[in-house]
Amino acid sequence: METAEIRRRFTAHFEAAGHTVVPSASLLLDDPNLLFVNAGMVPFKPYFLGQATPPYARATSVQKCIRTPDIEEVGKTTRHGTFFEMCGNFSFGDYFKEGAIELAWELVTKSQADGGFGLDESILYPSVLDGDEEAVALWKRITGLPDDRIVRLPPKENYWSMGVPGPGGPCSEILIDRGPAFGADRDWDAGDRYLEFWNLVFMQDELSAVRSKSDFDIAGQLPKKNIDTGMGLERVAYLLQGKANMYETDVVFPVIEKAMALTGKTYGKSYEDDVRFRVVADHIRSSMMLIADGVTPGNEGRGYVLRRLLRRAIRNVRLLGYEDPALPQLMPVSRDKMGETYTDLILDWDRISRVADAEEEAFRKTLAAGTQIFDLAAGDVKKAGGTTLAADKAFALHDTFGFPIDLTLEMASEAGLDVDEQGFRSLMTEQRERAKADARAKKGGHADLTVYRGILDASGPTEWLAYSQLETESK
Ligand code: ATP
Ligand code: MG
Ligand code: MG
Ligand code: MG
């Protein structure tokens, strides 16, 4: 079943059940805790928090999401993208646990001929928060499954909150058993064997304190109970398309095919190359979607995330053996697939491609200037029998050639070396202090702008970490 058809069936199912169809919001909503929208519920937050009255009691959406903390997983697990689409249904004080379970189970198990996904019941495992006997009883009654097919999971997995006082509640995830090739029997943590593809959040509690994912105080029950669910569109797509992972779906794989044609390498032959192909396909798509929503490459915050995604895509194509400009070849392939849903990609393509191509050109200059220096330094370390690239080398690469530290870290790790990262950070701090002192010495507060450049460059990678840690809303 094509991704477009899965999207259509999801929406039709919930529309028929009285939900208002709400289009995806931009990836860039104003939210002090979030760099990007990372779940379907984010645009509805004011309704869940009681700050605004929803114009409907039930809604459904397919929301664009970016999860920067998942960047390291991309290509290595079968199921994490930096960009993905979350299909969701929401109840604002309307139906609760029973309705949510019924609606999800019906769509998942109804035959494809009748408009459902037709997934095989015998390999589906609903999970609940350990102790949520109300949910256990409902799952058993609605699905007819025996008790031992309902998986009890701890709060770390199945309790949802926003990481701050406010609404919270137990979750139920629907897992599908992908078989022994993906992990051990009943090892729920082997995330690729028991693949979670739909998460139902039963928002029922009022939390007075949240100290961690499993340590919080429930002050009482919410006056109005809500439902928030999220089904990964890509995850269902690769399940229904009989593919191994989310990078091989009808929407994402064409970029891998194009990358094969450019590099002359074949996907499916070596693990290392396959990870690179998947990183390329994922990052091309997420950076394109970010540019479409108005992000431009920069040295901090959102712009830095975009820069890092573009540069990682470009470097991975190079590592696969293609040295010419890659984005003009690859991004249009992703545009043609995603443009069916997000028509602004087509309408605004001139601007989007210009932003991407300019960044590639700048990055190619950076690489041309610094790669030789890096190779020399790395060669010296190895010749001397060492394993660590010294801080002053990493600093010189940054200061003179504009190599961000994470580029140096990645290249070093490819060369089998560590980097004295702590030493690098102290050199950066020293430079920042010097710059501040210089600025103070200048008259009348007309500080030299290059000073700020230095600070921005320095804070880039730090921002990256800080922001990804702020993304606490993962369910
Ligand atoms: P996982 O445990 O696999 O990381 P999650 O529990 O973090 O997933 P949720 O926050 O519950 O995911 O999001 C709801 C649904 O969105 C998931 O069940 C999954 O289908 C999908 N999803 C979450 N993260 C990603 C991602 N990085 N790439 C693709 N789909 C995702
Ligand atoms: Mg999970
Ligand atoms: Mg996750
Ligand atoms: Mg989940």
Neighbours of 446 (CB within 10 A): 8
For 296, the token pair is 């431009």
The answer to whether the beta carbons of residues 47 and 22 sit under 8 Å apart is no
* 229 and 282 assigned to the same domain: no
**Residue 382 confidence class, pLDDT cut points 50, 70, 90:** very high
Q: Given this model, what pLDDT does residue 443 score?
A: 55
Q: What pLDDT, in 10s, does the model give residues 419-475?
A: 999 999 999 999 999 988 888 876 554 444 444 444 444 443 333 333 333 343 344
pLDDT (average), residues 40-55: 95
Any ligand 1 atom below 6 A from CB of 234: yes
The closest alpha carbon to 235, from 171, 174, 289, belongs to: 174
- Report CA-CA distances (Å) from 262 to 277, 312, 313, 323, 337: 12, 17, 14, 10, 19
Does residue 36 sit within a domain?
yes
Q: Which ligand is nearest to the CA of 157?
A: 2
pLDDT of residue 85: 98
Note whether 122 and 27 are same-domain residues.
yes
Please tell me whether residues 209 and 257 are part of one structural domain: no
Residue 81, ligand 1, Cβ within 6 A:
yes
Residue 432 lies in a domain: no
- Residues of the domain holding 324: 252-420+463-470
Region 274-288: mean pLDDT is 97
User: 216 and 275, same structural domain?
Assistant: no
* Mean pLDDT value across residues 352-364: 97
pLDDT tens for each residue of 217-266: 999 999 899 999 999 999 999 999 999 999 999 999 999 999 999 999 99
**pLDDT for the residue 406:** 85
Verify whether ligand 1 is closer than 6 Å to residue 6 (CB atom).
Answer: no
Q: For atom 2 of ligand 1, which residue has the closest CA?
A: 196
> Does residue 449 form part of some domain?
no
Mean pLDDT of 105-123: 98
On whether both 288 and 403 belong to a single domain, the answer is yes
pLDDT at 453: 41
Q: 391 Cβ partners below 8 Å, 6+ apart?
A: 419, 420, 421, 422, 423, 424, 426, 427
Q: Would you mind telling me the total number of residues written for the chain in this entry? A: 475
pLDDT value of residue 78: 87
Look up residue 121 and give its two tokens. 């019941």
Last residue of a domain, one of 188, 211, 240: 240
Ligand 1 near 69 CB (within 6 A): no
Q: Identify the residue with better confidence: 302 or 190.
A: 302
Question: Is the pLDDT at 276 greater than 70, yes or no?
Answer: yes
Domain end point (choices 208, 240, 272): 240
Q: Which one is predicted more confidently, 442 or 284? A: 284
> Complex ipTM above 0.90?
yes
pLDDT tier at 191, thresholds 50, 70, 90: low
- Residue 396 counted as domain residue: yes
Question: 304 and 170 in one domain?
Answer: no
Does a structural domain hold residue 47? yes
Asked if 161 and 280 sit in the same domain, the reply is no
Q: Identify the pLDDT of residue 61.
A: 98
Q: How many domains, in total, are found in the chain?
A: 2
- Residue 287 in any domain: the answer is yes
Whether 82 and 163 share a structural domain: yes
User: 180 with 43, same domain?
Assistant: yes
Same domain for 214 and 272, yes or no, is no
* pLDDT tens by residue, 323-346: 999 999 999 999 999 999 999 999
pLDDT tens digits along 144-190:
999 999 999 999 999 999 999 999 999 999 999 999 988 999 998 87
Evaluate whether residue 411 is within a structural domain. Answer: yes
% of the chain beyond a pLDDT of 70 = 93
**Are residue 40 and residue 141 in the same domain, yes or no?**
yes
- Please report, for the domain that includes residue 117, its CATH number: 3.30.930.10
Residues 268 and 311 in one domain: yes
Best probe residue, ligand 1, of 63, 71, 72, 80 (max atoms within 8 Å of C-beta): 80
- Give pLDDT tens digits for 91-100: 999 999 999 9
Is 434 part of any domain? no
Q: Check pocket membership of 70 for ligand 1, CB cut-off 6 A.
A: yes
- Mean per-residue pLDDT, 14-18: 98
**CA 246 to ligand 1: nearest atom:** 29
Check pLDDT > 80 for residue 416: yes
Q: What is the pLDDT of residue 312?
A: 94
Nearest CA to ligand 1 atom 12: 475
What distance in Å separates the CA atoms of residue 301 and residue 463, rounded to the nearest whole number?
Answer: 6
Question: Domain boundary at 240, 260, 286, which?
Answer: 240
How high is the pLDDT of residue 304? Answer: 93
Closest CA to 360 of 319, 318, 320: 318
Q: Please say if the pLDDT value at position 418 is more than 50.
A: yes
